[in-house]
Amino acid sequence: MLALRKHRRKVTLSFMLVATILISYWHPWRRRITIIECNNFRDGAVMVWVPAGTFRMGSSVSDNLRAAAQRHDWREVRDVARSGLRGKSNSDESPSHTVYLDGYWIYKYEVTVAQYREFCRATKRKMPLMPRWGWRDNDPITKVAWNDATAYAAWAGASLPTEAQWEKAARGPDGRLYPWGNVWDRTKCRSSIGRGNPVVSPSPVGSYSADTSPYGAQDLAGNVLEWCADWYDQNYYRHAPYRNPAGPKKGIYRVKRGGSWYGGSPDYYFRSAARPRDIPIQRSEINGFRCVVASPGQ
């Protein structure tokens, strides 16, 4: 009887692995998306439309299997599959769940140095400390704390994206692992991963055309980590509301999303479902932000 159970488990693991890899590369159900753009009249930022509807948020065992298989990490494939069969998951991205979001506009690019400088001029605020590479107008602004980002968003008639808004904009309706698809490729975004000579700064926004989501938002995987509106709670997905989740009411850390020019793990930082976090007062060279607007007329 024990031998039979072991045989069934091996067959199940093999089936899950093969099915996961096939699904990773073959998406006959992918829908064509018409990219719609407009400008936020407050700061001139280009925005792209993310329509109302549902999407799958977070990660499941099959997502983790797919990511491990595409890294050719067969030991992790085995461990993930075994954990799934036992019904165990310690990930803060679990459980994978369906979320409904109202439609919204999200900035196509991260807020730039030039845009943030104009905000400082209009509000009599000080610019953040200059990064090591100096100020370049089309670079994403960095060294901004969470309160700095929210102040800019309020001035621009916008807000920071919720985790759910950011993730839907990055993953699209087919739940891809990265904005461009399901296979990690370091050449598609601004990152030091796998480079003989690591990059030492972000690039001008929009420099990596491949780092574009199905809705047309760019630089969601690389360049800078982006502040989100939500407090961080590792167990939030277990009780998050179905409609327009906005995160817990309090916490210690604020959520950030996306990867950065500095590097990090492609599975942790760069995958669109990953949930990095930081203390709100942190002003780092790898932190930036983008905004969302419910209606361009507001």
Mean pLDDT along residues 126-152: 97
Mean pLDDT along residues 5-26: 49
pTM of the complete model beyond 0.75: yes
User: Is the predicted pLDDT of residue 270 greater than 80, yes or no?
Assistant: yes
Q: What is the pLDDT of residue 86?
A: 44
Q: What is the pLDDT of residues 158-200, one digit of tens each?
A: 999 999 999 999 999 988 889 999 888 989 999 988 766 688 9
Q: What is the pLDDT of residues 227-264, one digit of tens each?
A: 999 999 999 999 999 999 999 999 999 999 999 999 77
Mean pLDDT along residues 76-95: 60
Task: State how far the Cα of 201 lies from the Cα of 282, in Å rounded to an integer.
Answer: 18
User: Is the predicted pLDDT of residue 30 greater than 90, yes or no?
Assistant: no
Backbone angles phi, psi at 3, to 5 degrees: -60, -40
Task: State how far the Cα of 237 lies from the Cα of 60, in Å rounded to an integer.
Answer: 12
Q: Domain residue spans in the chain? A: 1-30+59-92, 35-55+104-293
78 pLDDT tier (thresholds 50, 70, 90): low
Between helix 113-123 and helix 146-155 the angle, nearest 10°, is 80
25 pLDDT tier (thresholds 50, 70, 90): very low
Q: What is the pLDDT of residue 7?
A: 52
Q: What is the pLDDT of residue 59?
A: 86
Give the pair of three-digit tokens for residue 33: 């998306």
5 pLDDT tier (thresholds 50, 70, 90): low
Q: What percent of the chain has pLDDT over 70?
A: 78
How is residue 186 annotated by DSSP?
Answer: G
How is residue 181 annotated by DSSP?
Answer: B
Matching CATH number, 35-55+104-293, of 3.90.1580.10, 3.30.70.270, 3.30.413.10, 2.40.30.10 = 3.90.1580.10
